[in-house]
Structure 1
């Protein structure tokens, strides 16, 4: 089954940080979930954990090249 998984770390308006996950089947809208943290370290730890988990399950890492 063709699936996608997106992981993003975004700053909030009040100094907090959000880890945003977006997943689903390719061609569909999918689902999203946000995890909010007061500091960057918690967000980076969660993002690293989720990334390693998805890579173990067979997802590939596609990073867009800079223009």
Structure 2
């Protein structure tokens, strides 16, 4: 079950002079035990990439982590 207020986000960052074309996606997920998590998926565009899930006991903690990660990626040059 997903919070309808937060939608999955796909960000990209490209710099041809450095041969860089990356993607980063964030979404909220819920486990079978009711824990909320932030799923991160990153890598080079065209590759399968890597994923990581951080679990939290409260939905508000997961939403806060989601917002912090999203702001950090925007500061580093990632855009929708």
- Aligned residues: CA RMSD: 0.7
Equivalenced residues, count: 61
Q: Structure 2: how far apart are the matches of 1:14 and 1:44?
A: 18
Return structure 1 stretches of 4+ with deviation > 3 angstroms.
none
Higher strand share: 2
Mapped pair 1:37 → 2:49 = no
Q: TM-score, normalised by structure 2?
A: 0.73
Q: TM-score, normalised by structure 1?
A: 0.86
Where do 5+ consecutive residues of structure 1 fail to align?
62-67
